[in-house]
Amino acid sequence: MATISFPHNHQSSDSRRGGSHHHRHGPVVEEIEGLIKVFNDGCVERPPIVPTVSPTLHPSAKATAFDIKLSNDTWTRVYIPDAAAASPSVTLPLLVYFHGGGFCVGSAAWSCYHDFLTSLAVQARCVVVSVNYRLAPEHRLPAAYDDGVNVVTWLVKQQISNGGYPSWVSKCNLSNVYLAGDSAGANIAYQVAVRITASGKYVNTPNLKGIILIHPFFGGESRTSSEKQQHHSKSSALTLSASDAYWRLALPRGASRDHPWCNPLGSSTAGAELPTTMVFMAEFDILKDRNLEMCKVMRSHGKRVEGIVHGGVGHAFHILDNSSVSRDRIHDMMCRLHNFIHP
C-alpha cells in the first residue's frame, strides 16, 4: 500500500520490549501495528491486512492483466488496455510501476494496487508493468533498487532478443518508457532512474522519457515543518514514528536517515541526470515539505519538474481513501498522468 500506518495504534520498538510481548521468536524489536512485526531472532510477521487478488479482470475493466515470474524473488503484473489489444498496429507507452509500503510491506497483487493500476492503464492509455520486489528487513536496500533495474533491463532485452519477443511486448513502445511509483515505490523509481541514466553503467537501457513520483518517501535526520506539524495527523496514513521505523528496517544497518538513499537532497547533484519529472504531493502528508524541496532542487539543475499538491487529502490517498474528495483528486491525477505520458 504505500508507506501506510495506523496513526493511533503505532507503538515504537522501545515500548514493545517488555516481558508481556515475548514470543517463541524472542521479544518484538520493531513493530508497525497491523502491518509488520520483527522479532529479536530476525523472524518477520506481516498480517494480511490487504487482500491479494489474481490478475483476472472482469470484461468491464477494459483491460487484460497477467503475471510473469522473473526469478524466485521477483515477478511482475502486466496491464494492457483493450484498446491496444484490439489493434495489432497500436503501441502504447510503457509505464513501470513500483508499489509502496515503506520497502517492508506491500505486493503487486494487493487489491488496492490492482484496482488503481487497472484504471491507470485504461485512463492514461499505457501498458503498465507493476513490479513485485524483495522486501526489507529480510532484504535491505539496495535489494529493491537492484530488482527494479533488473526488471527494466529485462524489458529492454525482450525487444532485442534474437528469438523474438512475447506478443504483449509488441504492444509497448520501448522508446517511450516511464518509471513511476508511490511512497517507497516512488523512492525506488527515483533511484532506479538514477542508476539507469548513469553514464555507461548499464548496457541495455530504455529511452526513459519521464519519472512519476507520487508522494515520494524520502527522509532526513532534520525534521521539516510538515513532519513536525502532521506527525500525528488523523488525515494522513503515514505517521512520523512509522516513517522512522520503516527507515530503520530498510536502510543498511547502522545508516542514519541522512543516507543518500533516504535523503538524496544531501547531494549537490540530486536529480541532475533525470528526465522530465512529475511529483504528486498531498496537503496533509508529512512528506509534503520534503517533496516540495526536491522539486526546487531539481529545477535548480535545469530540470523540467511538474509539481502538484492535492488539497484536503493525505499520504497515498489514491489507494487508501475512497471519500468524495479523494475521488475528485484521483480523477485529476489520472488526467494529469495521461497528459504527461501523452504530451
- Exposure string over 134-155, b if 16+ CB within 10 A, otherwise e: bbbbebbbebbbbbbbbbbebb
Element (H, E) at 190: helix 184-197
Joined together, the cell numbers standing for residue 266 give 544531501
Laid out side by side, the sheet with 44-45 consists of: 28-32, 36-39, 44-45
Q: Which of 181, 311, 139 is nearest to 236 (CA)?
A: 311
For residue 51 the three cell numbers come to 487482500
Sign of CA dihedral 155, 62, 112, 93: positive
Quote the CA–CA distance of 10 and 60 in Å, as a whole number.
Answer: 39
Quick one: cell of 93? 507507452
130: Cα separation from own chain's centroid? 10
The three grid cell numbers given for residue 174, joined into one nine-digit string: 520501448
List the catalytic residue out of 183, 236, 243, 326.
Answer: 183
Give residue for cell 499538491.
Answer: 309
Q: How far, in Å, CA of 245 to CA of 16, rounded?
A: 13
Question: Active site includes 183?
Answer: yes
Residue 312 burial class via C-beta count within 10 angstroms: exposed 0-12, middle 13-18, buried 19 and up = middle
Give ∠ CA 295-299-303 in degrees, rounded to 5: 110
Q: How far is CA 77 from CA 22, 45, 223, 252, 264, in A?
A: 38, 24, 36, 28, 29
In 10 A of CB 325, how many CB atoms? 13
Look up residue 35 and give its amino acid.
Answer: L
**Active-site positions?**
183
